[in-house]
Homo-oligomer: A and B are copies of this chain.
């Protein structure tokens, strides 16, 4: 039987639908240019539905960020903490990272680029709590990569530079796809895998010392 009821819905499907629609619009139009009405319209609803589940536009944005980061962390953390050499783990992490970007582009694009500064300015100095949580998640995420990099550097397989100096261009080579990549209907799953493979290969060569491959 359907379990419709007047008591509060405990699952988060309505909120997920909203942040999904919002992320697509944020990606295409940016935060400021995305209106609540447009988000509602994309869902075949009106503003009332959106404001029933979220208190403000900024809150929607923050929830997009949180969900995107959480998805990354949930999938990459096991790899980072798993077995294998630093090189093997880093490569698997990079590959998984790109796969997520490609298959969850709207939310990840919003998350990965520095759009939060736009929100700060438009909401004044409020929302700093949620903002800090997001920055914290991102820092933790980057830190996971930095630790693996650091381990590899100490073993002499990665270039001898501070991990933070390597993680920036490393992420750059991968994350830049959120700038240039546009989904095409003709693109097959193999095409996506080829992109992921190329980007991962480039990033690994950038970080490996000379005596590798």
Contacts and interface: CB of A to CB of B under 8 A. Distances in A.
A161 B197 CA distance: 12
Q: How many copies of this chain sit in the oligomeric assembly?
A: 2
Contacts of A177: 168, 172
A6 interface: no
Contacts of A168: 176-177, 180, 199
Interface of A is mostly: helix
Nearest to A204: B206
Contact of A169 (B33, B159, B203): B203
A105 to B, nearest CB: 13
A179 B142 CA distance: 14
Interface of A: 28-33, 113-115, 117-118, 121-122, 159, 161, 165-166, 168-177, 179-180, 198-199, 201-203, 205-208, 210, 213
Given A29-B118, A202-B207, 5 more contacts: A29-B122, A30-B30, A114-B180, A168-B199, A172-B172
22 contacts: A28-B121, A29-B122, A30-B31, A32-B32, A33-B118, A161-B198, A168-B177, A169-B198, A169-B199, A169-B203, A170-B173, A170-B202, A172-B173, A172-B174, A172-B175, A173-B176, A175-B179, A176-B176, A202-B206, A205-B205, A205-B208, A206-B206
